[in-house]
Structures are given as structure tokens and as C-alpha cells.
Amino acid sequence: VPVSVVATAGTTTVTSVDPLAAVAEICERENVWLHVDAAYAGSAAALPEMRSLFAGWERADSVLFNPHKWMLVPLECTGLFFRRMERVRRAFSVVPNYLETPEGLAVREYMDYGIQLGRRFRALKMWMTLRAFGASGVRARLRAHLVLARALRGVLEREPGVTIAAPTPFSVVAFRWTPPDLSPEAADAANARILARINEDGRVFISHALVSGRYTLRVAIGNVRTERRHLQTFLQVFREAVAAESPRKP
Ligand SMILES: Cc1ncc(COP(=O)(O)O)c(C=O)c1O
């Protein structure tokens, strides 16, 4: 018997978003717990103009996001929201007599909402980030990342031999170098070599993923210090890495 469904808002590979409202509809009908994994993209919901991408997640039983991924907070810090906290407390709370306090349920003891007893003060990083930048400062930086990602995508759309691998709803641009004379398998190998060259160069660091089974390059923009000039450096390093491929072409 299915007891829970995990929908993703911002998949790891291409940051796609599941049809959250439709999934919520089914979960409500079947009385199944809906968890929304918004680990990376959830931070974008801080921007009113991005909220429509998350429509339906307000019907979830739990939602998670990682401020360390895209809310400028250092590793690691997770925000986990529950619709009915009391249920979570009942599932996890095990209080031995030496941890009983006179406050009882009047205070929220985090040991009652998970497996860990001893835990780091992760919320401090989040608090300090918000104190340092303010909510408006965080929003401004997320918007800047979105602008950078769209600009990079625009350049890559016009770049000879490059195919954009997926829509760019957030700040991750997924693409492949696919010159017409290379078979898909040869292009996979070429893209893997390009990634290795780029990362060995050391000026920028990018990642990869299999998208529809094909080796795909990904630029993820999320660091507080990333600026347009870093994308220019990336393009330069990328073009050098592609140029090193050219002699291999028949
Ligand atoms: C959608 C998604 N869920 C979960 C994770 C893993 O999160 P964590 O490192 O907090 O376990 C990632 C990325 O690493 C992710 O992109």
C-alpha cells in the first residue's frame, strides 16, 4: 500500500518541476502523504514572480529546501516544513525521564521532531545570512543569478555546435556540445573530455548529468560571489576545451 509520494520541485539533473497540483490532487484522494523535495529550487519561492512554478506545494504534507544550495548559506542547512507538526512529534518523540523539563510541550524541542538528539545549531547560519543580507538582499542576489543564467543560456543558444538540453526555469543551464558530424556516443565522450578539461583548468567548476541518457554539461549559478565576469571566463574556458576537441573531428 503506497503511503507517501515524493514530488520534486527542481530536479537535480535539469531543475525540472513535477506537476505539483496534479500530484497533490491524487495524494489527497488516496490519503497519501505528499512530500515535496525542493532542495535546490525551493529558495526561488522567496521571489513572488517565481511562485507560480511551485503552485500546489502548499497542499503538501511536508516540504524541504536546502538554504545551502541556493540561499547563500554555507553547507549544510535544511529547512523542513510540516503541515501537521503534532503528527511528526508523535512519530519521533521519545523522551527519557532525564530529558523531561518543566516546560513540557510549551516549547518546541527539536529532539522531538527527528532521530537526532544532539544537533548543531544550523539555524544560526540561516539567521546570520538573513541578518547580513536582509530578505531583500537575498532576493536581489537570487534575481541576479536568474539573470546570469538566462544570459548564459542566450549565449549558448547561439554558440556553434551547442544544444541546450532542457528549459532553464532557475539558475542551472544544461547543454551539450553536439557538432553534426559526431554520433551521440562520440558526443558523449567528447562532452566528458570537455568537462574534464574545464575542471582541470581550475578557473571555473562545472558539473554533468545524464539527460535522456546523454552526457550533459551543467553550469549551476548559486554562489554569492558569482558575477557576469565569471561567466565570461567560463565561456572562454569552454571554447578552449571545445577547440581542443576539433583535431579529433574526422
Ligand atoms: C532535488 C534534490 N534533492 C535532494 C538533494 C540532496 O540534498 P542533501 O545534500 O541535503 O541530502 C539534492 C542535491 O544534492 C537535490 O538536488
pLDDT at 12: 96
Q: Which residues of the chain have a pLDDT value below 50?
A: none
Query: Could you tell me which residues are beta bridge partners of residue 36?
Result: 7, 63
pLDDT at 247: 64
Looking at the CA of residue 38, tell me the nearest atom of ligand 1: 1
Instruction: Report the separation in Å between the CA atom of 154 and the middle of ligand 1, taken as the mean of its atom positions.
Output: 27
Quick one: the chain helix, strand, coil %, rounded to 5?
50, 15, 35
Specify the amino acid at residue 139: R
User: Grid cell 530578505 — which residue?
Assistant: 135
pLDDT at 182: 94
Strand ranges (E), the chain: 4-8, 33-37, 62-65, 79-82, 162-164, 172-177, 207-211, 214-220
pLDDT at 248: 55
Ligand 1 pocket, residues with Cβ under 6 angstroms: 8, 10-12, 37, 39-40, 66, 78
Sign of CA pseudo-dihedral 35, 39, 40, 45: positive
Rg (CA), the chain: 22
pLDDT tens digit sequence for 229-238: 999 999 999 9
